[in-house]
Amino acid sequence: MVLDTFPSAEEFYKTYWGKKPFVVRGGIDKSEFDNFIDGDTLAGLSLEDDIKSRLVVTSEKGWVCEHGPFEEDRFSTLGDKNWSLLVQNIDQYHPNTSSLLRNFDFSPRWLMDDIMVSYSTVGGTVGPHTDSYHVFLVQGKGKRNWKVSHAPILDGKCLANQDLKVLEKSFDGQDVNVTMGDIIYIPPHFAHEGKTLEEAMTFSVGFLGPQLSEMFVEYGYYLEQNEQENKRFVGQGIDTRSSTFLIGSDAVDMVKDSFSASLQSDSFSAWMVKYFSTPTHDDIESMERREHQMSEDEVSYKLEAGGVLRRDEQAKIAITKSDDGILNLAVYGSVLHVSLEQETLVLWLNQKSPISIRDIKKWGHKKSLIQLVTELYNMNVLTFDCNDD
C-alpha cells in the first residue's frame, strides 16, 4: 500500500484507479504548501453564508456535526482537542490552493469535484466511513493516522442517531501515519478513518460520483431546451403485436432505439461537457466573467509584448469530440463549439501548457486563435502571467 514514488499514469489506471488504495510518501513538495490556505483563513470562510462548512465534534457519546455559517466566537468555545472544521470548494474561494490540482493532471480532471480542506485538532475525526467517489487525501501541516480497508465495503451499516454516516462496525484495514506532502488515494467504497495526532490540515481532492438517474434527468432537461433534438415517440411502426393494452416487444425495442439514438447523437457529447463542467455547489453554479473584459486587439497586443497565458487551475473545464471531429469545450456549463482551426490550441490547453504568441503563430489561423483565447480569458479560464492583467 505504501509506495516510494507516484505510479505512472498507465500504472495508476491499470492497477489502482477504482481498484485499490495506496500511499505515496512526499508525493507533493513541502514548499507548495506555503501558499495554500491556513487554518485562520479557513475559519474565516466558514463564517460566510454561501460557503458550505461543517464542524465535527467528537465526544464519548459519538459525533456531533454542525453546519455553517458559524459565529466567530464559536471556535473559542471548542478547546484544543477532538474537533474538526471542514470547508468545501476551497479551489474556488482560495485560488492559490487550486494550484494543488496541477499534481493530479494524470487523473480525469473533468470528473473532479472540488478541494475540501479540513483543520483538525488532536483527536479530531469524522469517524469510520465510506465514500461513493474517488478521493486523494493530501496531508498538509501536522500528523494524522489513517486506517484504510483492504477491500470495498458495499453494505456497511451506519450508526443510528448520529449526525454523520459513521460505520456501525470496525473494519479490517491497514494503519498508516502521514505527514506534510504525503498522499493517500482511496477508491470508492473503501472504508477509511482519520485521527489527528498533531494539529493538522488535510486537503481532500474529491471526484464526482453521479448516479445514472441523476444524469438521465439532467440529459432530459438538456433535450427539453433543444427542441430540434427532443424527438417525439408517436408509436411509429408498431403493429398488431401492440394492440389494446399490450406493449409488444417491437414497441419496447423502438423506445429503446429512440433512447439509443439520442445517446449516440452529437447532442449527448455536447451535454456531457456541459454537465461535467457545471459546479455541483449551488453558490458557484453561475460563475461571473471578468470584471474587465479585454478585446481581441488588447489580448493580441499583450501577447505580442511578451505576455504568456496560462490556464487557471480552478476553472471547471470539460472537452469532448463530436462524430464530425469538432470539439465541444465547456467552461462552468457554458459550451463553446471549437472550430478545426482552434483544435490545436484546445488540446494544448488540455496539457496545461502556457500559450505564447510564438505558439499561436506556429499553429496558424492567428485571428481565430486570438478570438478563442480572448473568450477564454474573459471567462476566467486563462490568465496572463503579467501582474497587470
- CA 248 to CA 240: how far, in whole Å? 9
pLDDT digits (tens, 9 = 90+) for 286-340: 567 888 999 999 999 999 999 999 998 988 999 998 877 788 999 999 998 888 8
Residue 277 lies inside a defined structural domain of this protein: no
CATH code (residue 327): 3.40.366.30
Residue 104: per-residue pLDDT: 95
Residue 178 lies inside a defined structural domain of this protein: yes
Mean pLDDT, residues 199-227? 94
Q: Do 218 and 197 share a domain, yes or no?
A: no
Q: Do 56 and 118 share a domain, yes or no?
A: yes
* Residue 91 amino acid letter: D
Q: Do 138 and 219 share a domain, yes or no?
A: no
pTM score, whole prediction: 0.91
Residue range of the domain that includes 241 = 214-264
Q: Do 242 and 351 share a domain, yes or no?
A: no
Q: Do 132 and 197 share a domain, yes or no?
A: yes
CA separation (Å) from 9 to 17, 22, 107, 301, 337? 10, 14, 8, 38, 29
Residue 91 lies inside a defined structural domain of this protein: yes
Residue 389 lies inside a defined structural domain of this protein: no
Q: Do 93 and 48 share a domain, yes or no?
A: yes
Instruction: Evaluate if residue 389 carries a pLDDT over 50.
Output: no
Q: Do 218 and 182 share a domain, yes or no?
A: no
CA separation (Å) from 201 to 54, 76, 120, 179, 204? 15, 19, 6, 10, 10
Q: Do 179 and 47 share a domain, yes or no?
A: yes
Cell readout for 362 is: 506556429
The number of beta carbons lying within 10 Å of the beta carbon of residue 39 is 20
Mean pLDDT, residues 209-220? 94
Q: Would you say 122 and 145 are in contact if contact means Cβ atoms under 8 Å apart?
A: no
* Number of domains the chain is built from: 3
Residue 268: per-residue pLDDT: 92
Q: Report the mean per-residue pLDDT for the chain.
A: 92
CATH code (residue 117): 2.60.120.650
Residue 151 lies inside a defined structural domain of this protein: yes
Spatial neighbors of 339 by CB under 8 A, at least 6 apart, are: 326, 368
Residue 162: per-residue pLDDT: 76
Residue 190 lies inside a defined structural domain of this protein: yes
Q: Do 200 and 232 share a domain, yes or no?
A: no
CA separation (Å) from 262 to 257, 274, 328? 8, 16, 17
- Residue given cell 456531457 in the structure block: 272
Residue 237: per-residue pLDDT: 84
Q: Do 97 and 123 share a domain, yes or no?
A: yes
pLDDT digits (tens, 9 = 90+) for 162-202: 778 899 888 999 999 999 999 999 999 999 999 999 999 99
Range name among 7-21, 42-56, 162-176 with the lowest pLDDT average: 162-176
Residue 252 lies inside a defined structural domain of this protein: yes
Among 208, 203, 232, residue whose Cα is nearest residue 141: 203
pLDDT digits (tens, 9 = 90+) for 239-281: 888 888 999 999 999 999 999 999 988 889 999 999 999 988 7
- CA 338 to CA 346: how far, in whole Å? 8
pLDDT digits (tens, 9 = 90+) for 64-110: 999 999 999 999 999 999 999 999 999 999 999 999 999 999 999 99
Q: Do 106 and 86 share a domain, yes or no?
A: yes
Q: Do 29 and 78 share a domain, yes or no?
A: yes
- CA 2 to CA 25: how far, in whole Å? 8
Residue 282 lies inside a defined structural domain of this protein: no
